Amino acid sequence: MIENFLGSTADVGYNRPMLQTARPKEKPGIAGPPHERYFDAFGWMLLARTFEEKLASLYRGGRITGGVYVGKGQEAVSVACGIFLRKGDVFAPLIRDQAGRSAFGEPLVDVARTYLGSRQGPMRGRDGNIHRGRPREGQLAMISHLGAMISVVVGSLMAKRWRGEKGFIGLTTIGEGGMQTGSTHEGLNIAAVEQVPLVVVATNNHFAYSTPNEREFACQALVDRALGYGFEGYEVDGTDLAACLDVIGSAVKRARAGRPPQLVVASILRLAGHGEHDDFSYVTEDIRKQPFARDCLQLAERFITENKLVDAETLRAWRDQAAQEVEQAFSTAQKEPVPEGTEEDWCAISTRVLCDQAE
Amino acid sequence: MIENFLGSTADVGYNRPMLQTARPKEKPGIAGPPHERYFDAFGWMLLARTFEEKLASLYRGGRITGGVYVGKGQEAVSVACGIFLRKGDVFAPLIRDQAGRSAFGEPLVDVARTYLGSRQGPMRGRDGNIHRGRPREGQLAMISHLGAMISVVVGSLMAKRWRGEKGFIGLTTIGEGGMQTGSTHEGLNIAAVEQVPLVVVATNNHFAYSTPNEREFACQALVDRALGYGFEGYEVDGTDLAACLDVIGSAVKRARAGRPPQLVVASILRLAGHGEHDDFSYVTEDIRKQPFARDCLQLAERFITENKLVDAETLRAWRDQAAQEVEQAFSTAQKEPVPEGTEEDWCAISTRVLCDQAE
Amino acid sequence: MSITYLEAIREAQAKLLRDDKRVFIYGQDVGGTFGGAFKATKGLAKEFPGRVLNTPISEDAMVGTAIGAAMEGMRPIVEMQFADFSSIALNQVLNNAGTIFWRTGISCPITIRLPSGGTKGSGPFHSQSMEALYSHYPGLIVMTPATVEDAYTMLIEAVAIDDPVVYCEHKYLYYHLKADRLPSEGLPVGQARIARVGRDLTIVSYSAMLHESLTAAEKLAREGLEIEVVDLRSVKPLDTATVLASVARTGRLLAVGESFPWGGVTAEVIARVAAEGFHLLDAAPARVNAKDTPIPYHPNLWSAHRPSSDAIVAKARQLLRE
Amino acid sequence: MSITYLEAIREAQAKLLRDDKRVFIYGQDVGGTFGGAFKATKGLAKEFPGRVLNTPISEDAMVGTAIGAAMEGMRPIVEMQFADFSSIALNQVLNNAGTIFWRTGISCPITIRLPSGGTKGSGPFHSQSMEALYSHYPGLIVMTPATVEDAYTMLIEAVAIDDPVVYCEHKYLYYHLKADRLPSEGLPVGQARIARVGRDLTIVSYSAMLHESLTAAEKLAREGLEIEVVDLRSVKPLDTATVLASVARTGRLLAVGESFPWGGVTAEVIARVAAEGFHLLDAAPARVNAKDTPIPYHPNLWSAHRPSSDAIVAKARQLLRE
Ligand SMILES: Cc1ncc(C[n+]2csc(CCOP(=O)(O)OP(=O)(O)O)c2C)c(N)n1
Ligand SMILES: Cc1ncc(C[n+]2csc(CCOP(=O)(O)OP(=O)(O)O)c2C)c(N)n1
Ligand SMILES: [Mg+2]
Ligand SMILES: [Mg+2]
């Protein structure tokens, strides 16, 4: 028996992957939050949404160079990816993971720095936006090629195992589109062969850029792929924060307990364009009315309100705090100097004496 | 209900892939062969085995340049891949498919020509051995990179569909090792998305070169991957000719009938080295005693003899005929001239005026 | 009427689809109502139903599928979303498409469109110029149109050619470049063009760098220097004859490219001129390339990384002093 | 004692595994009792349990895994079964390994061993020399050892270096080349070597072509011609200074490489010498490369495709007549 609730200790023996969909728990008038990390998680979601709304408005105002890609509608999945990780873990997030990155400890000012091109940002203006990372703190800096980070996480985990570290896991995210790359396949398979403590959270937001599911894959459920790799596989309703915390939290726990790699497939609709340049007019009205198109943040807020988990005052205070943190991050970053070409040594390797001199 | 016997017409509706292992039918003293193509198939197997034995001896005698890769032990699977194909079909064989290539119509002399480097061979000495093909006749010329041919077959089938051809299918083979490449993943997935009439026959011969299954993949059964792509999936005992004809023949039939792409996974042991240079000492005695290590050709012959399907005389005649055809092929090829560098124009493209002049 | 480089690419594809039923377009997001990340196929899926197809994110399989279709007589155009992602398809392009004709005698007429080159804020993975990788291997034709007219006629020719063509279209030129009308014919493929006549120095360039070179020539003209500018048009085959003829007139060579320095188009141009036209040179040939680091995201860094007309002017002056 | 180029590679790996517990070897068939398609890791899995690991046929993931381990402090050596299959890993090598340090400041010390180059009967997909592809992109060091001694010391250095190294070992040299003993130290990485002293012409070469060049020099010596031969050792960084110093002595340059002509090492060498040492040249520089077609399977075709000492001699004579 699998117990989805993170609180429970009853973890399970190895058997064939169980395709298990955690559904929102609708117990009317319950006394506390449906998950011990529910409020924390809600806070990160709120922060991410607030930050990205500001970001989008800066983008529209022509203040951002390069693309802006937001996680609107994916915050519940993403926060659940970041919130259970701890120091020593490895997190390789992708483009819709602001909530998870924050929950794992990425300072908001570093995000603002990256978008505004501050030389004090973690990428020093060399790389931008979603490619940012903090490898020293376990947050890898993605390359664009989808799927390429999975095997990188595998290697990090092998190194940790060799060094004798204990209790660590790796978690990486992928879209349903990215699941069709060869790199993803090789990465998932090698993870299973190496039996590393890995959780892969795939979000089917029903589109890869403008391409709908039917031109992406033809299987009935992506979670069935777990079986073919020797992963354990779970489905989750990505609009439901409690379910995300349950299912992803349990997967994290199982990975930590030494069980095979875990695949969680979340279902959701991307509630923004692929990037802010995209009006997503290809998403039909019909699709926007599907259950998977609900807004996870609104659902969580309604759940909190309807069940009177906190009062309106508190909610407002949370929102204010998020707004303030976002303001703070941008205003700090805005004041910082930008990088200058004249100050670069244009050497791509760390062994400077071996820099090639071709012009 | 799936009916494995090709003779049966009862083909099935679409449902989740059925993991179905066809077992040898052991009806003692039956009157006829267990499959209408059984004798044909046996003939091709015999021819392939005889040819490859000769080839291996030439290799040992230093008469062959380049590698020799044989299909010993895989003839039953391979012949079943070739024998149901007809003009207009596309076949993309790999390194262990001599039996299937012959059954699909490749002249034996072209094989001998390729190995002996005759300029009259299909590859004119430019490419060798297993890379040979006859694209005009529907047999593609593989590149070495495993998995790369799957999507090529998909494209061929799409072109045929566009042209309004009817009733054609494509069939390609892959090893359990090759199933781990990114190219295979992308090829299988795109086949399912494009819904082409494709059969993929994967042979798990328990080794990729020297690497055993446990370092190749970690799923319980490779056929489970079918599910994750939206293929229909079947397993078969690759040592059993009748089963191979049944299962692969049925898959071909289903593909022709317009059903989703088909994956057949055969289980077997490679009964030779990876190539003739390899003594396969890494295959332990224990493995050599497993049921999957039986020799399909011997089993078929024993089945024929024990059930008195043909008499000893006929069997001997078959064997003699094979030997004669093989002799003939090599002796023709041996007399032919080899290619000369001075006669090459060293232009890699067909539009000769656009050949680049760099030296 | 005014037509951009991007529109020329779309028009060429519309014409190809209209005139030749063997043509189809295959790529991520090229279909539906969307028409591609850069809208190079906007409207085409509707006009040509079933012939402009979205693909999964599977560059290897996209090219493999196109190869199979091409061998069966179709004329596929594969759009990579960005040139940078063609690294995933590289094996299919080099080892499959590039070898089929030579190995089997069957031709493989695929066209692979690579939205190439740097634009502000695009960073290391959406800015690459990959022509050198594809030119190094045998079996491919590599086009690098620099003008609206060439963007149009060369794409039409790319599809007509019986061999695999890598068509590098420059994203910076998409909107920056306009022409009054589309030509019905262009120079033959494989032939370079004298984009500006001069006698003091030959600049050899292609794609977006042609325009930086022309700007540099303008600037130098104010000082009385007459710079000849050659637009290679295709980098493989590379039209050595036209380059040599120009160097014969000017005695000086500066090769300008946007890709990384080691083994780029500029190295190949200089190697050819040095080997075949050594006596034509009055001074050392020189080259201007991007820097040998990944392409930076920040505009300040990017403009220092990418060859600018100023950098070309500086190098040209130095060369003319020799 | 006599030790081959291949044994030197195995010895270097044994030493690395022995001396540095961060080192592990990752590749197809490298482990078990087998020890690699060419036996370059024979016996190592037994001697160093758990540190010489077989992988699935997944070149992309092999390199990705190594990158992750390297960023966490390990020193992985990845063996490609043949250089040709590294096309599948190319994206991880160029876009991931090659950019990590520059983007993040974290170093990525992986070594990728590529069994490279042509041997009789190996054909288009088991004969390639891929150094130009890897050298073109930023962020990588590309080594091409030509001697038993260099095979040994450079592999040890490759693993010591904090950056990604592509180590191109030549399959033709595996058994053909022998030395009496292994050195404890070699020339510094990045430094070329004068393999033979001369004054009439400089041949610049590397890897297996060094030996064809030396043979050519021998043949020409019988005619009284003194050919200097430079062994580049690493093609990135490329030691322009040593090449220029040699050309300063001889006045003539012939660059010899086994890879395809367009944009290969030879183009880069000539471009550098032409640009930086133009006045040193008394005649046009020249190059000898493989032909611009896939590498043929049949030995007759292969020996015409690959640069031979005779082809080098012919080109050298021509160059010396100028
Ligand atoms: C190998 C590769 N090809 C193409 C792209 C361009 N690209 C960036 S995001 C994207 C869509 C991704 O869809 P999905 O994986 O479903 O993630 P989502 O954007 O829906 O979160 C594409 C095609 C890429 N990043 N990598
Ligand atoms: C992408 C790629 N990497 C490596 C190789 C080298 N190689 C050739 S055959 C082989 C083993 C193949 O094993 P499997 O697919 O199980 O087929 P089998 O030889 O067992 O029939 C390997 C590793 C290759 N051909 N392609
Ligand atoms: Mg998506
Ligand atoms: Mg196998």
Beta strand C253-256 with B21-22 is unpaired
**Average pLDDT of the residues in C142-153:** 98
Do the strands C193-196 and C201-205 form a parallel or antiparallel pair, or are they unpaired? unpaired
Query: Binning pLDDT at 50, 70 and 90, where does residue B358 land?
Result: confident
Q: How far is the CA of B274 from the centre of ligand 2 (A)?
A: 9
Residue of C nearest to A213 (CA): C56
Of residues D162, D118, D166, D175, the one with CA closest to residue D140:
D166
* Alpha carbon nearest to ligand 1 atom 20, residue: A208
255-294 of D, contacting B, C-beta below 8 A: 261-262, 267, 287-289, 291-294
What is the pLDDT averaged over residues D165-183? 97
DSSP string for residues in B145-156: STTHHHHHHHHH
Check residue A14 and give its pLDDT: 25
The pLDDT assigned to A23 comes to 36
Question: How close is the nearest chain D Cα to the Cα of B195, in Å?
Answer: 26
Q: Which residue of A has its CA nearest to C87?
A: A145
Q: What distance in angstroms lies between residue C12's CA and the mean position of ligand 1's atoms?
A: 27
Which whole number is the average pLDDT over D304-310?
A: 98
Q: Where in chain D is the domain with CATH 3.40.50.920?
A: 193-321
Partner-chain residue, chosen from D63, D103, D141, that has the shortest CB–CB distance to A127:
D103
Preceding peptide of C115 cis, ω within 30°: no
| Percent of chain D residues topping a pLDDT of 90 | 99
pLDDT, position D322:
81
- Average pLDDT of every residue of chain B: 92
**Token pair listed for B173:** 């083979």
For ligand 3, an ion, list residues with CB under 5 A: A 175-177, 205, 208
Burial A226-249 (b: 16+ CB within 10 A, else e): bbbbbbbbbbbbbbbbbbbbbbbb
Please name the chains neighbouring D, where neighbouring means 3+ C-beta pairs under 8 angstroms. A, B, C
What are B24-75's pLDDT values in tens digits?
Answer: 444 455 678 999 999 999 999 999 999 999 999 999 999 998 899 999 999 9
Query: How is domain B20-357 classified at the architecture level of CATH?
Result: 3-Layer(aba) Sandwich (3.40)
Nearest to C243 by CA among C204, C186, C289: C204
Q: Could you report the per-residue pLDDT of D94-142, keeping only the tens digit for each?
A: 999 999 999 999 999 999 999 999 999 999 999 999 999 999 999 999 9
- Averaged pLDDT of chain D: 98
Residues 6+ apart with CB under 8 A from D218: none
In the structure, which protein residues have their CB atom closer than 6 angstroms to any atom of ligand 2? B 95-96, 144-146, 175-178, 181, 205, 207-209, 270, 274; D 28, 57, 59, 81, 85, 88
Q: Number of Cβ pairs closer than 8 Å across A and B?
A: 86
**D296 to chain B: which residues are within 8 Å by CB?**
125-127, 344
ipTM for the whole predicted complex goes beyond 0.90: yes
The DSSP symbol for D187 reads S
Residues A339, C34: C-beta atoms closer than 8 Å:
no
The residues of D carrying an active-site annotation are 126
Q: Which residue of D has its CA nearest to A344?
A: D102
Query: Residue of the nearest CA to atom 6 in ligand 1?
Result: C81
For residue C82, give the amino acid letter: F
User: Does the model's pTM come out above 0.90?
Assistant: yes
Does the beta carbon of A314 lie inside 6 Å of ligand 1? no
pLDDT(D71) > 80: yes
* Tens of pLDDT, residues B76-131: 999 999 999 999 999 999 999 999 999 999 999 999 999 999 999 999 999 999 99
Which residues of chain D neighbour A186 with C-beta distances below 8 Å?
Answer: 56, 58-61, 64
Candidates C26, C34, C54, C57: which one to mutate for ligand 1, based on the most atoms within 8 Å of Cβ? C57
Q: Contact at 8 Å (CB) between A90 and A157?
A: yes
| pLDDT, position B15 | 27
Looking at residue B359, its pLDDT comes to: 83
Give the pLDDT band (50/70/90) at residue D187.
very high
Both tokens of residue C205? Answer: 């360039």
Taking CA atoms, A8 is separated from A3, A82, A246, A253, D186, in Å, by 7, 20, 10, 10, 61
Tell me if A225 and B222 make a contact (CB, 8 A cut-off): no
**Ligand 2 atom having least distance to the Cα of B69:** 19
Rg (CA), chain B: 20
Q: How far is D316 from chain B (nearest CA, A)?
A: 14
**What percent of chain C has pLDDT above 90?**
99
Which of B99-138 are b and which e, b meaning 16 or more Cβ less than 10 Å from the residue's Cβ?
bbbbbbebebbbbbbbbbbbbebbbbbbbbbbbbbbbeeb
- State the Cα torsion B239-B242-B246-B251 to the nearest 10°: 40
Q: N- to C-terminal Cα distance for chain B?
A: 64
Task: For D32-57, write each residue's pLDDT tens digit.
Answer: 999 999 999 999 999 999 999 999 99
Token code pair at residue A190: 């090698």
Tell if the CB–CB gap between A341 and C261 is shorter than 8 Å. no
B146 Cα nearest atom in ligand 2: 26
Residue A29 confidence (pLDDT) = 52
- pLDDT of residue D303 exceeding 50: yes
B146 C-alpha vs ligand 1 centroid, how far in Å?
A: 25
CATH topology of domain C3-179: Rossmann fold (3.40.50)
Q: Please indicate whether, in this complex, the C-beta atoms of A151 and D68 are within 8 angstroms of each other.
A: yes
Measured in angstroms, how far is the CA atom of residue A146 from the centroid of ligand 1? 6
Q: Which value, to the nearest 10 degrees, does the dihedral of the CA atoms of residues A60, A62, A64, A70 take?
A: 10
To the nearest whole Å, the CA of A77 is away from the closest chain D CA by 25
Contact residues of B toward A, CB < 8 A: 16, 180-186, 189, 192-193, 195, 214-220, 222, 224-225, 227-230, 260
Protein residue with its CA nearest to atom 8 in ligand 2: B144
Q: Which amino acid is at B112?
A: A
CA distance linking residue B19 with residue B104, whole number of Å: 27
Residues 116-135 of D with CB under 8 A from B: 120-126
Quick check: C301 and A339 CB within 8 A?
yes
Strands lying side by side in the sheet with D23-27: D52-54, D23-27, D75-79, D111-116, D165-170, D141-143, D234-236
What is the rounded distance in angstroms from the CA atom of residue B271 to the CA atom of residue B70?
A: 9
Neighbours of chain B (3+ CB pairs under 8 A): A, C, D
The CATH class for the domain spanning D193-321 reads alpha beta
Helix (H) or strand (E) holding D237: none
Inspect the interface and report whether the beta carbons of A356 and C292 lie closer than 8 Å: yes
What is the interface size between C and D, counted as CB pairs within 8 Å?
Answer: 140
Would you call D33 and B342 a contact, using CB atoms and an 8 Å cutoff?
A: no
Interchain contact C85–A (C-beta under 8 A): yes
Residue B29: what pLDDT? 52
A-to-C residue pairs, Cβ atoms closer than 8 angstroms: 138
Put simply, the answer to whether D90 touches C91 (Cβ < 8 Å) is: yes
Spatial distance between the Cα atoms of C253 and C284, rounded to a whole number of angstroms: 8
| pLDDT tens-digit map of D226-274 | 999 999 999 999 999 999 999 999 999 999 999 999 999 999 999 999 9
Cβ–Cβ of A65/C299 closer than 8 Å?
Answer: yes
The string of pLDDT tens digits covering residues B145-161 is 999 999 999 999 999 99
Cα–ligand 1 centroid distance for C322 (angstroms): 50
pLDDT for the residue A36: 95
Q: What is the best residue among D28, D55, D57 to mutate for testing ligand 2's pocket, by most ligand atoms within 8 Å of CB?
A: D57
For residues C256 and C268, the answer to whether their CB atoms sit within 8 Å is: no
Q: Strand B211-212 and strand B207-208: pairing?
A: antiparallel
Helices B296-306 and B241-256: angle between axes, nearest 10 degrees:
110
A151 secondary structure, DSSP code: H
pLDDT, tens digit (0-9, with 9 covering 90-100), for D202-220? 999 999 999 999 999 999 9
Q: In terms of Cα–Cα distance, which of C90, C116, C123 is closest to C38?
A: C116
DSSP state of C95: I
* C155: pLDDT strictly greater than 70: yes
Mean pLDDT confidence for C167-184: 97
The residue ranges of chain A whose pLDDT is under 70 are 1-30
The answer to whether D170 faces chain C, any CB pair under 8 Å, is no
* Residue D287 CB partners (closer than 8 Å, separation 6+): B359, C271, C275, D254, D255, D256, D257, D261, D266, D267, D269, D270
CB nearest to D301's CB, from B344, B358, B359: B344
List chain C residues with CB under 8 Å of A208.
28-29, 56-57
Interface of D with A in 31-70 (CB under 8 A): 55-56, 58-70
Please give, rounded to a whole number of angstroms, the shortest distance from the CA of D143 to a CA of chain C.
15
Q: How far is the CA of A216 from the centre of ligand 3 (A)?
A: 9
